[in-house]
Structure 1
Amino acid sequence: MIHFFWSIFFLVLTMALVLAYVVGFASILFMIHYIAVRNWREMADNGRVTSDRMIYIGGKFIVYFLVAAGIAWGVLYLDYVLAKKWEIAYVHSNVAAACNRSMLLFFALFLLFLITNTLRLNREAAVSGDGFGRYYQTRFFRKLIVACLVMMLTVYVLQLQKWTGKDNANLDAKQYWVPGQVLNGFRLVLTTFIHPEIPVMIPSNLLQQWIYDQGTKYLPENDGEIGVWQNSWFHYHYSRRDRKPLFIGKGSPSDLMVNILDRQWFCLETMATKPFADHQMEVEHYYRDYPSLALSYNLREGWYSGKLVASAARLAQMKKYVLRSRLLSQWLWELGEKWQTSEKTLRFLKKHPK
């Protein structure tokens, strides 16, 4: 029962986080619309022609955008100059962290512009009843919130029915897998449009990691399912769109890429060499997702040699990774044989040949 309570707890956290994302994004759009409309009306009352209004309002947003971007770029450049001055060696994780700080600063500055302008205009409009708060009282906004809640509850119930049946295994762990799948579904929507490492993804990534850490405690050590969890929730966001870590250069070393490759290898080895107590998990995730993960690993493993450019010759002299390549080929061959024994997989491959 305690695991079910944890499941509900993580579901509530997921719902709260998703609503925070939705309300935050909607608020940004509302502020942009409110500022534009109020300025448009003020200029119309002053007799300004349409072209002047469009140029002024559009230019206003562009100027603030460029100012915020300029300040963020200046901070990033200062980071680079100081690192060079003190002769700090190039470390990709440090570069990525500096770039992410600059992106966060840019977003904060632009958001500050929106908030200050909205507050000023809202004070002026308070008398007329045309305040900013009306956006949150619209039927559309309320329906949006209700739709999000209903959708998440529906996904949770469907996942609960799917993964906690009499034919499933590791049922205690599944109580964490189910809310984790709800959150991961939302993250998959976001990463369709943005990179998984963009600062706005940090809260959802941290919550996903927490659910993973809690849930995998209840998976047996000799079970391939943990590889599915890690791949589905973390690596798939990269492999499905052939993404690399942010701010990575083919001619530079990357500690971040090496870390990702090590974790990808853990998933590849675990799924291929350990049995699955839950056959449904094996068929629906290991059988289907393994090739894309293997391809992603194979395309990036050159970074083990220091950098991706001209890495084949260097990698061929590293026995550890030569052995890994042979093992991966063997595991893919064995996977193909396993497909032939699964009618469900064969139907899936026939329906989705690519």
Structure 2
Amino acid sequence: MASLFTPVTLRSLTIPNRIWMAAMCQYSAEPEGETVGVPTDWHIAHLAARATGGTGLIVTEATAVSPEGRISPYDLGIWNDTQAAAFQRITAFLKSQGTVPAIQLAHAGRKASTERTWVDGGRQIAPDEPYGWTPLGPSTISFAPSSTTPEELTTDRIRAIVQEFASAARRALEAGFEVAEIHGAHGYLIHQFLSPYSNHRTDEYGGSFEGRTRFALEVVDAVRAVWPKELPIFFRVSATDWLTENPEDDRDGWTAADTVRFAKELHAHGVDLVDVSTGGNAPGAKIVTGPGYQVPFAEQIRNEAGVPTAAVGMITEPAQAQHVIASGQADAVLLGRELLRNPFWARRAAKELGGQVGTPVQYHRA
């Protein structure tokens, strides 16, 4: 059997194959009222389709740990019990199809309070506009010149957010999720602390590598303390800001070497797999793209840090995905837009490569 279809076990959890779905925001929750942040029929249909398509693990979209941690007013949340209870129907269905349900716990930081991507280009909503609020950040540095200047977090507020992540993880467990992924990428709050580009603090949460990684590791420790020992924790990173490695850009940023060093710390603190992406923290950064363009970072982290990784980014063809796994570049592939185009991509890959994925009994004639 092609290695893409072999199970992988992390702690006591066995995932049936290496074809996983990346978190992709849908911006389809209610922005206010009793059902704010609650998954809707859209979320059920969206996630269920990929489970029936044979996907081994599905990561929900970025799910906010607090109201101000949402990217947009229309994001999912898991800061209250109503939200957690609504996820139970989704996780139960995913499990019934043999798919592992994972949740991405997130705080948007200075990139919060934005419109949906299809409305005004996803512009930032000003605090005095309907559904807008003042974003938070490690420093008073806006994401872009037109963006709202964030409120600089006090140390007490930082520690409160750490506990918000822990509370969200508890609710996620009650909701039936089997993997908790901490979102530390794409210029959201944790990434903002990691990178010298966005973190100009002079206290214990800034300055040195140890200071800039302190918040992230405190979040990991808090989540690991409430997450069962037998279940894994993932951490999504942006392996590089695409700044320091570019000789034409004089801005100082987070680098691949930093990520390797950080991944070792994550593993020591109880993270079982690093989900490797890039960018999102510095407007105008020159990103070198192409098929599988982020896979080399996953390979570097896997080899140099000795940590399991998942690769993401323009992975579209079954043979390409198989090569990533068979060659040891990563332990799993995360598909995003390709699974939007074809929810049954895993079944297509199995047919092309001679593998096998779960198929609903109702589809036995297909």
Shorter-chain TM band:
under 0.3
TM-score (norm 1): 0.25
Normalized per residue, which structure has more helix?
1
TM-score by length of 2: 0.25
If you compute each CA radius of gyration, which structure gives the higher value, 1 or 2?
1
Higher strand share: 2
